[in-house]
Amino acid sequence: MNVKGTRDIYGDEARKKKEVELRVASIFEKWGFEPLYTPALEYLDLLKGKYGSEEKLIYEFQDKSGNWLGLKYDQTVPLARFVAEKDVPLPYKRYVIDRAWRYDNPQRGRYREFTQCDIDIVGSKSISADAEVIACAYEVYKSLGIDVVFKISSRKWLNNVLGNPDNKVLRAIDKYYKIGEEEVKKLIGEDKLERLKNTGPDQELNTLFNLLNKYKVKYEFDPFIVRGLDY
């Protein structure tokens, strides 16, 4: 019997998974990203304080030496640790296709052990780096026959519009499509909601959008995209 939230992948499904991973990796490398693999285990204090309310989903335990450890929740925090510890030339473009673990509620299509495909450019303040990551991801979806439209917002834009909102406000905005406009209005107030709805993209976002147009990426500006912005 498998541990709850895990599964065996074999036969045709395993071959298809491998094929997809190779196709995705080839696109990442075409865009100049290099592979990085980090350990499944990290010290728990590295993982804590990085995921907000999602922190409770970290698999954590104490080893035989008394160290508190956690299975990696995603690929980004281990990347930050790696860059901080190693003398990596910047900007550093890396990709990873590897497993992660979350003590989530298992359901159809969602497991506690799963594979993530991730790309990052570390050490560049250029908006072109953001455009490059988005365009690369868009090419991955196209190669898999998946038609997508990216919904894009910005923490800097959100701070300028709402004046550095606290996490309570962010969580309420994040629920916009789940609970509806009226419920969000009750949680954050009509003034904040109207500012979100009526304020267009700033200069930085427009620069990004111009670059995405050149890459022929399908996208939409969406002021209610908040998840992960406190990350």
**142 lies in a domain?**
no
Alpha-carbon distance of 98 to 115, in angstroms, equals 5
Residues 27 and 115 in one domain: yes
Residues 114 and 168 in one domain: no
Residues 170 and 209 in one domain: yes
In this model, does residue 229 exceed pLDDT 50?
no
Residues 104 and 21 in one domain: yes
Alpha-carbon distance of 173 to 179, in angstroms, equals 10
Across the range 95-110, mean pLDDT stands at: 94
pLDDT at 228: 58
Last residue of a domain, one of 56, 91, 124: 124
Burial 30-61 (b: 16+ CB within 10 A, else e): ebebeebeeebebebeebeebbeeeeeebbee
**What is the separation, in whole angstroms, between the first and last Cα of the chain?**
36
pLDDT at 33: 99
**72 lies in a domain?**
yes
- Residue 40 makes CB contacts below 8 A (sequence gap 6+) with 71, 72, 99, 101
Other C-beta atoms closer than 10 Å to the C-beta of 211 total: 17
Residues 83 and 161 in one domain: no
pLDDT at 121: 98
Residues 56 and 4 in one domain: yes
Across the range 217-227, mean pLDDT stands at: 93
Alpha-carbon distance of 169 to 81, in angstroms, equals 29
Residues 1 and 78 in one domain: yes
**138 lies in a domain?**
no
Alpha-carbon distance of 163 to 211, in angstroms, equals 27
Residues 12 and 110 in one domain: yes
Q: How confident is the model at residue 187 (pLDDT cuts 50, 70, 90)?
A: very high
Residues 116 and 9 in one domain: yes
Last residue of a domain, one of 108, 124, 140: 124
Number of domains the chain contains: 2
Across the range 178-191, mean pLDDT stands at: 93
Sheet of 68-71: strand order equals 41-43, 68-71, 60-62
Nearest to 88 by CA among 98, 96, 80, 97: 80
Residues 12 and 74 in one domain: yes
pLDDT at 35: 98
Phi-psi region of 225 (alpha: psi -120 to 50; beta: other; left: phi over 0): beta
> CA angle, corner 192, sides to 189 and 195, nearest 5?
145
**54 lies in a domain?**
yes
Across the range 124-142, mean pLDDT stands at: 98
**60 lies in a domain?**
yes
pLDDT over 90 percentage in the chain: 89
Last residue of a domain, one of 89, 124, 159: 124
- Say which CATH number the domain at 111 has: 3.30.930.10
**86 lies in a domain?**
yes
Most confidently modeled of 21-30, 49-58, 174-183?
21-30
Positive or negative CA dihedral for 72, 74, 76, 77? negative
**13 lies in a domain?**
yes
The pair phi, psi for residue 182, each rounded to 5°, is -65, -40
pLDDT in tens, 69-84: 999 999 999 999 999 9
Tell me what the pLDDT averaged over the chain comes to. 95
Among the residue ranges 70-79, 101-110, 118-127, the one predicted with the least confidence is: 101-110
Alpha-carbon distance of 79 to 98, in angstroms, equals 12
pLDDT in tens, 8-50: 999 999 999 999 999 999 999 999 999 999 999 999 999 998 8
Radius of gyration of the chain (CA): 20
Residues 95 and 160 in one domain: no
**132 lies in a domain?**
no
Pull the structure tokens for residue 51. 């995921």
Other C-beta atoms closer than 10 Å to the C-beta of 132 total: 20
Structural domain that includes position 208: 149-231
Residues 15 and 63 in one domain: yes
